[in-house]
Structure 1
Amino acid sequence: MNIVYASNDNYARHLGVSMCSLFESSKKEKNITVYILSVNLGQESRDKLNQIGEAYGRNIHYIEAGDLNSRFSHQVDTGRFDISTLGRLFIGKLLPENVKRLIYLDCDTVVVRSLAYVWKQNLEDCIIGAVPEPTIYKQVKEELGLSAEDTYYNAGVLLIDLQAWRQENAESKLLQLYAEKNGKLFANDQDLINGGLKGRIKTLMPACNFFTNYRYFHYWDLVRQSPAYRQIPKEEFMKAKAHPVVIHYMGDERPWKAGNWNHYRLAYEKFLRQTPWKGYPKEEGARAYMAAYHIMDYLTFLCPPIRQVISKIYLKKAMKKYG
């Protein structure tokens, strides 16, 4: 089983937590190899990550992605996201030729059940497998040429047929689209994957990549926001809430921020204690915002339209910069 992350020093701690959870939850898996696409990942961070790998007897390989800006023929504006996430656009060239299939994980994920469930999914004739994100703004979909009926996918967890990726020259297609968009998209490479690989993405069940804020959404509201979400049975959505395979801390309620009340924060804290970053203090300065965010979560459950109003306000501000 090949697992790929992309990280720099700023996300090394979260990468360590995710990797520790991966190894702990997959003890029965004989072969797990981790590839880290490094964007100037320092030696101190590497030493700590290596300690985790050695504790579980797992192999970790570092692949230096270098200056990602230099890999583009145009300027890129990643906005609120770190440029290290763009490293996955170059997996076909960066990873060894003998790697034919892989699971890509964002650093802000925690694996609580064996990834064998994800690994065994049949991609059929698709290049990648991903979990739908029905709450994406319709303006983002329109920018990518996606209709209201089209599925938009989250790229935090990807099952990739790397052989097909290479054969069909997916990298070039995505880079061409990025150039056409002048290197500026709302969700960067996630948008590129949705726009450039439309029709070649296999839908995975939400347990494979469960977004923590979806705990507070009703299934019917997600279907209302994106009719394509009907392809996810309600039973699968409810099962993912209770028994996810991968927890994805998507949104602002991050477990490493002081004052957060994230329902799934205990999973992150549990694995943090098993890493060399044990005891690392939480980030201060946003306690009031964390409380307000959690109140919004409960209001989402009680009255879904309230979140829609708040989201529209956020989108209006964001589009001034990314639109």
Structure 2
Amino acid sequence: MKQNALEVVYASNDGYARHLGVSLCSLLDRNQDMEEIRVHILSMGISRENQARLQRLADRYERKLIFVEIEALEGRFDHPVDTGGYDISIMLRLFMAEALPKDLDRVLYLDCDTVVAQSLKHLWNVRLGDRIAGAVMEPTIYKEVKESIGLGPEDGYFNSGVLLVNLKKWREENIQEKLLEFWKEKGGKLFASDQDVINGTLKGRILPLPPRYNFFTNYRYFFYRSLLRVSPSYRAVTGAEFREAKHHPFIIHYMGDERPWIAGNLNHYRKAYERYLAQTEWAKTPKEKGKRLYMLAYHGLDYLTVLCPSARFAISQSMGMRFVENRKKDRK
């Protein structure tokens, strides 16, 4: 494998194809310094029309796009699966080693709701050693969630939206089988579904990456000391790294409810999404309506984070499971 050849993986259904297009456009635009880029899309029903749109986007940058259709995903589980209201396609990443070429030893997985803001050359060259993957810590996850998957206060919890994966070790150690077994042991139901499965299964085998490689947009309003208070394991990240991520993120992750494609959102980083949306064939797609008041209230919660972090944590804790119920009513 060429050191300067970037291998990227996305996973999507048809409903998220537009956001995949935005992320793909940003990836290709910001990484024109890479000698070669191959993008693998694990598809669960992406329409021919949307596949053609994505292909034309890749052709514009003269990059390779490979679609891998995954059918009957439910049939791969011998137990009921509850994804908390999300489409089951979110589980696709668990099967990446099986779906991708066997000679592919290393990949960068990206969620569709990300925008690449700078070259990923340095991220791609991070050495994983004996770790299975590299990821960015998510310190605001609830203590109860960590405990439910066997993690203690000093154990890091990682967001699965950006994963630098050692596919060779993944295959050698039968990680896919271990992930599915962990999921089964938990009854096929966890708070953050596949993300919890990855964290529980790969405890101690994930390399912490700087937050600039997966910056959650609502973290703009958190203080570093507040994050340390709720998660001692976040000491793996320095205050300087956290502040740098706020101002110069390499990958922006629109995690949470303040999404840039919803009308009325006031996300500070929304212009990055809008800039690349305008360069895709989905440019004229109207924003989702009906949530303006909710968007205003959510943005108020952002500022509450600045004024009184403890109040923000308390509200998030009490409403966490309610957010899951809301997702069930508004499936992707």
TM-score by length of 1: 0.97
Cα root mean square deviation, aligned: 1.4
Q: CA deviation at 1:320?
A: 8.6
* Partner amino acid, structure 1, of 2:67: Y
Q: CA deviation at 1:73?
A: 1.2
Which stretches of structure 1, 4 residues or longer, exceed 2 Å deviation after superposition? 315-322
- Within the candidate set 280, 286, 293, 1:281 is matched to 286
Q: Separation in 1 of the partners of 2:274 and 2:237?
A: 30
Q: Which residue of 2 aligns with 1:128?
A: 133
TM-score by length of 2: 0.95
* Unmatched runs of 5 consecutive residues or more in structure 1: none
Q: Which residue of 2 aligns with 1:137?
A: 142
**2:41 aligned with 1:36, yes or no?**
yes
Q: CA deviation at 1:81?
A: 2.0
Q: CA deviation at 1:321?
A: 11
Q: CA deviation at 1:122?
A: 1.3
Q: Separation in 1 of the partners of 2:100 and 2:285?
A: 32
* Partner amino acid, structure 2, of 1:20: C
Q: CA deviation at 1:316?
A: 5.1
Deviations 1:97-133 (A, max 9, x none): 1111000000000001011121111111100000000
Q: Separation in 2 of the partners of 1:321 and 1:179?
A: 25
* Partner amino acid, structure 1, of 2:117: V
Deviations 1:232-252 (A, max 9, x none): 010000000011110000000
Alpha-carbon spacing, 1:149–1:320, altered in 2? closer, same or farther (3 Å)? farther
Task: Report % sequence identity.
Answer: 54
**2:156 aligned with 1:151, yes or no?**
yes
Q: Separation in 1 of the partners of 2:322 and 2:221?
A: 24
* Partner amino acid, structure 2, of 1:208: Y
Q: Which residue of 1 aligns with 2:330?
A: none
- Within the candidate set 99, 103, 126, 2:104 is matched to 99
**2:249 aligned with 1:244, yes or no?**
yes
Q: Separation in 2 of the partners of 1:175 and 1:164?
A: 17
Deviations 1:259-314 (A, max 9, x none): 00000000000000000001210000000000010011011011101211211221
* Unmatched runs of 5 consecutive residues or more in structure 2: 1-5, 328-332
Q: Separation in 1 of the partners of 2:72 and 2:153?
A: 37
Could you say what secondary structure the match of 1:61 adopts? strand
- Within the candidate set 97, 106, 111, 2:116 is matched to 111
Q: Separation in 2 of the partners of 1:277 and 1:321?
A: 26
**2:226 aligned with 1:232, yes or no?**
no
Q: Separation in 2 of the partners of 1:39 and 1:319?
A: 22
Answer whether contact 2:82 2:188 (CA < 8 A) is retained.
Answer: yes
**2:109 aligned with 1:80, yes or no?**
no
* Partner amino acid, structure 1, of 2:126: Q
Aligned length: 322
Q: Separation in 2 of the partners of 1:25 and 1:81?
A: 30
Q: CA deviation at 1:85?
A: 1.4
- Within the candidate set 160, 168, 177, 1:172 is matched to 177
Q: Separation in 2 of the partners of 1:241 and 1:52?
A: 29
Q: Which moved more, 1:48-57 or 1:312-321?
A: 312-321
Could you say what secondary structure the match of 2:81 adopts? coil
Alpha-carbon spacing, 1:251–1:68, altered in 2? closer, same or farther (3 Å)? same
